[in-house]
Chains A and B, each alone.
Chain A
Amino acid sequence: MIAEQSASSSADDVLVGSSLWRDAWLRLKRNRMAMAGLGVTLALTALSFGGPFVTHALWGYDYESQNLAYGARPPSAAHWFGTDYFGRDLLTRVLFGGQISLTVGLLAASVAASIGTLYGAVSGYAGGRIDGLMMRIVDVIYALPYMFLVIVLVTIFGKSLPLLFLSLGMVGWLMTARIVRGQMLSLKEREFVLAARSLGVRNYTILFRHLIPNTLGPIIVYFTLTVPSMILQEAFLSFLGLGVQAPRPSLGALISDGAQHMAVFWWELVFPGGLMALLLFSLNFLGDGVRDALDPSSRGRS
């Protein structure tokens, strides 16, 4: 019986077809902190995008209708997070703000990752003078104060939401470009690139089919860590009044409002601040987990 089983299992259970991506996912699944981070992130995302509809359906709240007679009430059964100075339901506004912050964070990080990957890959693969020139450009932009650049771009582009994440992304790609270029420099010397060339594969295909997928690990890791930093920067811009414009809330704008009244209306600061902290924590845990999963040898290093 036992012999029979082992004979059949040795024939069928040859584990084949498990890509490095699948292996990484299995490692990520075993990481409890990362899975908790993923769970909380997904829950908060669902809440932020679904919640405003629910509060609207239940109580008729939305993020902009004011009710001055009902201004600045502490949390209650009708308004779980209280109301702000203009009588708007804070729960609805916090959730809506979370929605905007998440969107800006994800899109800005995507823009940064795309530009950075393409730029870094071309630079590293081309090598030589082209690489030198492209990297000097990165150095020059890098030398400029980051926030100053974002502020200049926001002022040029105006304060609309799509342009906000474009501005953040256009400044945030530098690090990705450097990482990808560094990877490219060592990858392009690997023998499988020569092997592909010896089979007649063209440069374009080598770059996009063979090389960039090999750098996706570091790109994804950096991406997951960029999302929270973009959210934070959006908050900072909104705090300065350059980000999302009233009456639309973002977490940063809400915290900025709340900070002005924190001595009296504590809930206006605590709830958006709490949500933001929770979001950033879980995203960072997820990012760390992804890094450990994609590069097991990095575990333990900071």
Chain B
Amino acid sequence: MSAEPLLSVRDLCVHFRTDRGIVKAVDGLSFDVAPGEVLGLVGESGSGKTVANLALLGLVPRPPAFYPRGEVRFAGQELLHASERVLRSVRGRRIAMIFQDPMTSLNPYLSVERQLTEVLELHERISRQAARIRAIDMLAKVGMPDPERRIDAFPHELSGGMRQRVMIAMALLCNPELLIADEPTTAVDVTVQAQVLELIRDLQRGSSMSVILVTHDLGVVAGMAHRIAVMYAGRIVETASTDALFTRPRHPYTQGLLASIPRMDTPRGQSLSPIPGLPPDLSNLPSGCPFRPRCSKAFADCEAAYPELTACGSDHLVRCFAAERGET
């Protein structure tokens, strides 16, 4: 991406002090998001995706978390060490988040109207009536059936899909420049998943909003993201345009992820190939490349040092010694 990035994360580290020692949930994470770009952030559970995104908005509880290094710049403004006041003015207005579980992300005792208008009252000088009208408009925009009536509903009266639509409406009310969708489809039915993804894609296309789509499911980002970053043990191990990543994955981990997706055209009887082993213990990482114990391509160098992100094609970066040698 040639344009000035909207969000620039450099060497972000989020560590946690725990009884078992320091857990390096995010350790040297760098990525950019350009205006209008959809970035897919992919990794298995515990790879630090969620923690990294919460850290962008200062939502990681400190203590036990702390930031030994790193920089987060959003539209030129440093966010990682910004004051709570500055962060509050960014949250919801310029950067909004959608969470995994629509069942628990809405306050059960407040009506949909109250929860939607709260955001507007917070960030804009707006009357109660005007806020209600804006909220109804937004509900209609996210495809809520019968928005004039549903705005008076309480969360327990809505289905999971409708609640996720309310969550999306809440996030988009103030026209944020960046939307972080943290596994927005994990907790909803498969049929609703497709609708939610389509909705986010349509809303993004109709505006200049950037999106970080966090997921453990490569299938989810395939049709949506312009670029994909694959995370492993708190760092990005490979990043490329969506096409390049799917047609020519270079990192053994990415290859493993792709091989483990069930496909319609897999011959009958052929079993899925899972990645052997388990994600590493983040408080006790192996020496060298953290993927080494599970990697079929590992050799001596991999134990000695952690590889750097290196270019292997246009706008394609990979963090792997085997890939550097052209062995992947």
Contacts and interface: CB of A to CB of B under 8 A. Distances in A.
Pair from one complex: yes
Interface of A: 14-21, 190-192, 194-202, 209-210, 213-214, 216
Contacts of B24: none
23 contacts: A14-B149, A16-B153, A17-B111, A18-B154, A18-B157, A19-B154, A20-B156, A190-B104, A191-B99, A192-B104, A192-B106, A194-B105, A195-B99, A195-B105, A195-B106, A198-B91, A200-B92, A200-B119, A201-B92, A201-B122, A209-B118, A210-B107, A213-B107
B170 A192 contact: no
Nearest to A21: B109
Nearest to A216: B109
Given A17-B152, A199-B122, A194 B59 contact: yes
A201 B119 CA distance: 8
A195 B107 CA distance: 9
A200 B154 contact: no
Given A196-B107, A200-B91, A16 B122 contact: no
Interface in B148-169: 149-150, 152-154, 156-157, 167
Nearest to B170: A199
B90 interface: yes
Nearest to A14: B149
A196 B167 CA distance: 11
A213 B101 CA distance: 21
Contact of B96 (A192, A196, A199): A199
Given A16-B152, A19-B154, A200 B104 contact: no
B59 A198 contact: yes
Contacts of B99: 191, 194-195, 198
B97 interface: yes
Interface in B109-163: 109-111, 118-119, 122-123, 146, 149-150, 152-154, 156-157
Contact of B119 (A17, A19, A191, A199): A199
Contacts of B108: 20, 192, 214
Interface string B299-320: 0000000000000000000000
B153 to A, nearest CB: 4
Contacts of B111: 17, 19
Main DSSP-derived SS at the A contact region? helix
B57 interface: yes
Choose among A19, A192, A198, A214 the residue with the greatest number of B CB atoms under 10 Å from its CB: A198
Contacts of A14: 146, 149
Nearest to A15: B157
Contact of A16 (B57, B105, B157): B157
Given A18-B157, A197-B91, 20 more contacts: A14-B146, A17-B111, A17-B149, A18-B154, A19-B109, A20-B108, A191-B104, A191-B105, A194-B105, A198-B96, A199-B91, A199-B96, A199-B122, A200-B89, A200-B93, A200-B122, A201-B88, A209-B110, A213-B110, A214-B107
Contacts, number: 90
A14 B162 CA distance: 15
A15 B150 CA distance: 10
A202 B107 contact: no
What is the size category of the interface that chain B forms with chain A? 35 or more
A224 B119 CA distance: 35
Contacts of A198: 57, 59, 91-92, 96-97, 99
B99 to A, nearest CB: 6
Nearest to A217: B109
Choose among B87, B101, B105, B146 the residue with the greatest number of A CB atoms under 10 Å from its CB: B105
B59 A197 contact: yes
A194 B122 CA distance: 16
A219 B100 CA distance: 30
A15 B92 CA distance: 31
A19 B107 CA distance: 12
Contacts of A197: 59, 91
Nearest to A11: B146
Interface in B221-280: none
A190 to B, nearest CB: 6
A21 B180 CA distance: 34
A247 to B, nearest CB: 47
A21 to B, nearest CB: 8
A19 B149 CA distance: 14
A15 B110 CA distance: 16
B32 to A, nearest CB: 22
B149 A192 contact: no
A200 B122 CA distance: 7
Given A16-B157, A214-B107, A214-B108, A200 B90 contact: yes
